[in-house]
């Protein structure tokens, strides 16, 4: 079913998809899972980009990666949940792959970043076999480019596919192509590629714990992220207040 905007019906579906318990995904059960993250920017994009909203609703699980998702769940559902970041998902999957002697594939980022990832994994996860692919840098890949990428992935036959092309590009690409991809878990983890490669420093643990990872990233990349965090966070708060008032009136 196609959705044209974020409303009370598909908002409830988004909340249903949010993972409220610790990570427990098992690629050994044979199920194909599309795993995405959700934060304040996800809600904003869902309100303005119909293609992105439908891509997110195609997820099997949404990880509350960001203080915005935690606040939204608390304000609109009345429940406290814990943050589960894309990096948490990445380390969880890699640990499971190490135990099983499994395979993963990294699709996204530059050859330099992918090379650093390969080097670090060789040191830290010696029993994991990895493949990589650096796609062309453009807003939307051509059909022939996507077909070439999928052919390489499917030939490799990974247990887990990590997609890192930034939001919303990665979520749209994964949702459209999930049925063509031979991987048990497809995880859209964006900046985790850079965090693990060491080309981008993640916020200190204390800032992550108090919900200020976004502020750290803003300081590090103000030109790229000022609109997303300063304007976007304001837009998110106004939307959240509107939803809360609507719920109160409905009662």
State the Cα–Cα distance between residues 175 and 246, nearest whole angstrom. Answer: 31
Encoding tokens for residue 2?
A: 């196609």
State the Cα–Cα distance between residues 142 and 193, nearest whole angstrom. Answer: 23
What does DSSP assign to residue 126?
Answer: T
**Residue 54, pLDDT score:** 93
Report helix angle 8-17 to 67-77, nearest 10. 120
Encoding tokens for residue 57?
A: 């609703």
* pLDDT at 223 > cutoff 60: yes
Q: Which ranges of 58-211 would DSSP assign to H, the alpha helix? A: 67-77, 86-100, 111-124, 143-156, 169-177, 192-197, 205-209
**Residue 3, pLDDT score:** 57
**Residue 4, pLDDT score:** 59
- Given a contact cutoff of 8 angstroms between Cβ atoms, the answer to whether 174 and 34 are in contact is yes
Residue 85 CB neighbour total at 10 angstroms: 20
Give the residue-averaged pLDDT of 224-249: 91
pLDDT digits (tens, 9 = 90+) for 105-143: 999 999 999 999 999 999 999 999 999 999 999 888 999
**Residue 166, pLDDT score:** 87
User: What burial class does residue 39 get, using C-beta atoms within 10 Å of its C-beta: 0-12 exposed, 13-18 middle, 19+ buried?
Assistant: buried
Q: How confident is the model at residue 95 (pLDDT cuts 50, 70, 90)?
A: very high
Q: Which residue has the higher pLDDT, 30 or 168?
A: 168
* pLDDT at 251 > cutoff 70: no
* pLDDT at 250 > cutoff 80: no
**Residue 239, pLDDT score:** 92
Closest CA to 55 of 138, 149, 141, 173: 173
Q: How confident is the model at residue 2 (pLDDT cuts 50, 70, 90)?
A: low
pLDDT digits (tens, 9 = 90+) for 58-94: 999 999 998 999 999 999 999 999 999 999 999 999 9
pLDDT digits (tens, 9 = 90+) for 179-196: 999 999 999 999 999 999
**Residue 35, pLDDT score:** 96
Q: How many helices (H) and strands (E) does the chain have?
A: 13, 6
Encoding tokens for residue 182?
A: 């031979």
Q: What distances in angstroms separate CA 234 from CA 161, 227, 229, 237, 241, one per listed residue?
A: 34, 10, 8, 5, 11
Q: Is the dihedral of CA 166, 171, 177, 178 positive or negative?
A: positive
Contacts of 73 (CB under 8 A, 6+ apart): 15, 18, 20, 64, 79, 80, 81
Contacts of 11 (CB under 8 A, 6+ apart): 76, 243
- Given a contact cutoff of 8 angstroms between Cβ atoms, the answer to whether 199 and 42 are in contact is no
**Residue 86, pLDDT score:** 94
Q: Is the peptide bond prior to 168 cis by the omega test (within 30 degrees of 0)?
A: yes
SS3 164: strand
State the Cα–Cα distance between residues 241 and 226, nearest whole angstrom. Answer: 22
On whether the pTM is more than 0.75, the answer is yes
**Residue 139, pLDDT score:** 84
* pLDDT at 99 > cutoff 60: yes
């Amino acid at each position: 079913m196609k959705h044209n905007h974020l409303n009370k019906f598909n908002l409830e579906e988004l909340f249903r998809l949010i993972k409220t318990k610790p990570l427990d995904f098992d690629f050994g059960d044979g199920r194909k899972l599309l795993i995405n993250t959700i934060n304040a920017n996800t809600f904003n994009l869902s309100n303005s980009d119909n293609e992105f909203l439908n891509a997110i609703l195609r997820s099997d699980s949404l990880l509350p990666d960001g203080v915005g998702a935690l606040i939204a769940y608390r304000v609109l559902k009345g429940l406290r949940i814990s943050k589960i970041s894309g990096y948490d998902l990445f380390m969880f999957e890699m640990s499971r792959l190490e135990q099983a002697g499994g395979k993963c594939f990294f699709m996204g980022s530059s050859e330099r970043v992918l090379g650093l990832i390969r080097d670090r994994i060789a040191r830290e996860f010696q029993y994991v076999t990895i493949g990589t692919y650096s796609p062309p840098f453009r807003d939307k890949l051509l059909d022939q480019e996507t077909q070439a990428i999928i052919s390489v992935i499917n030939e490799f036959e990974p247990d887990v596919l990590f997609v890192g092309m930034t939001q919303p590009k990665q979520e749209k690409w994964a949702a459209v192509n999930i049925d063509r991809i031979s991987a048990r878990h497809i995880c859209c983890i964006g900046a985790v590629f850079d965090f693990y490669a060491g080309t981008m420093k993640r916020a200190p643990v204390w800032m992550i714990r108090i919900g200020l990872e976004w502020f750290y990233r803003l300081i590090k990349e103000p030109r790229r992220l000022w609109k997303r965090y300063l304007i976007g966070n304001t837009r998110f708060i106004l939307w959240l207040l509107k939803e809360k008032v609507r719920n109160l009136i409905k009662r």
